[in-house]
Each structure stands twice: as structure tokens, then as C-alpha cells.
Amino acid sequence: MAFAFFRVCSGDAESADALNRFLAGNSIIRVERNFHADRADGYWSFCIEYRPRQKANSMRKGERERIDYRETLSPAEFEVYAKLRDVRKEISEREGVPLFAVAVNDQLAEMAKRRVSSKAGLREVVDFGEARIRKYGREFLRVLGTPEELSLLESELVQAEEVTGGSGTVVQGVEHATEDKGRSQRNRELFESE
């Protein structure tokens, strides 16, 4: 990992272009930015943690750059990431699907960095959609959450399964779904009595 520092004054196109070229040419890990109003115009300062990109000719065609998550994650984050990988492997083997169909490494690293602890947190992970949350979310959250959070999550998921009858239908809210289920039951009773 390396660090770079930039200062971009208001209206300074040359500094902004230099920053943009740097960002485009490197793998960015983290950016910290601050606005300083010390001067009349003010300026932005940027601290950028990055990893230099490999030269195009050093990579084979179609090959993605490999990230060593031991370097980009803290030791505690990497420990969680490793547990998430194990869970992903178990799911992959059980479901008979490739690892990337469950979650890609970037998603697991993002979960570990953010210490995602809820379905809402999983929704913020890039490209980890509702279907994956329904299928695999509970197992990932078991690694990520505290016992209290897991207890709450389990009760929410059990309620949702009871409401949907295990159909996996996305439910906006448990109360709303319960009302719909009650209406369906009343409609069936009315239909059967006619």
C-alpha cells in the first residue's frame, strides 16, 4: 500500500486534472478529503491510499488484477473476511454453484470492512441484491453480527418466512404482508362459501 497527497484549489483545473489522472491510473483503496477555508478561495486536500496498477502487458488478456486482501484489510477485518470466504465455500458446495455466484471477493471484503450487521447493510454492498440476501444473507450475517443482532435478525426472518409461507417472496413489511395474508384467507373463505 502507498499514499499520495493532493491539494486542489478552487478553479485550478491543472491540479484537478493531475488528481483525476492519478485516480484513473491506480487501484484506489481509500480516500480522505477535507475542505480548507483558510484562504479566500479555499482548497481541497486529499489523502489517497492506493496500490499501483500492474502494467497492461504484465497481465494476460481478460485477467483481472489480483488483490491481496491481507494488505488492504486490517488484521481484524481480514479474519472476518476469511470466515466469510469459508461460509461462501460451504454455500457454493451445498448449492452446487460457483463461488462468484454466491459472492465475489470484493463483496466479502466490503462486508468485512463495514462490519455489516443487518439486511439493510447487505443492501449497501455493491451488486449484492435481494435474491442473494434472501438466499445467503443469514449465513453471512451469522459471521458478521453480534449475538443480539443475530437474535433480532432470526426473529425477523422467521416472521417473514411465516408470512410468505417460505415462498421467498420479497416482503415490504411484515405487518403489511400479514394483512395481505389475512385478506387472502378471507377471500378464500368467501369463495368457498359461495
Which pLDDT value is given to residue 193? 41
For the ranges 76-80, 113-117, 160-164, 181-185, the maximum mean pLDDT occurs at 76-80
Which pLDDT value is given to residue 61? 55
Cα(145)–Cα(114) distance, integer angstroms: 11
Question: What is the mean pLDDT of the segment spanning 178-188?
Answer: 42
In whole numbers, what is the pLDDT of the chain averaged over residues?
Answer: 76
- Closest C-alpha among 60, 48, 7, 57 to residue 24: 48
Query: Does the pLDDT at position 174 exceed 70?
Result: no
Band (pLDDT 50/70/90 cuts) for residue 80 is very high
- Closest C-alpha among 109, 137, 135, 143 to residue 123: 137
Cα(176)–Cα(24) distance, integer angstroms: 46
Burial 106-132 (b: 16+ CB within 10 A, else e): ebbbbbbbeebbbbebbeebeebeeeb
Which pLDDT value is given to residue 116? 86
CA distances from 145 to 2, 90, 138, 160 (A): 31, 19, 10, 19
pLDDT in tens, 119-134: 888 888 888 889 999 9
Domains of the chain and any CATH numbers: 2-58 (no CATH), 69-169 (1.10.150.80)
Q: Read off the C-alpha cell for 135.
A: 438466499
Query: Does the pLDDT at position 66 exceed 70?
Result: yes
Cα(14)–Cα(6) distance, integer angstroms: 12
Query: Does the pLDDT at position 57 exceed 60?
Result: no
Query: ∠ CA 133-152-127 to the nearest 5 degrees?
Result: 20
pLDDT in tens, 136-159: 989 999 888 755 555 665 666 566
For the ranges 22-36, 74-88, 142-156, the maximum mean pLDDT occurs at 74-88
DSSP character at residue 167:
-
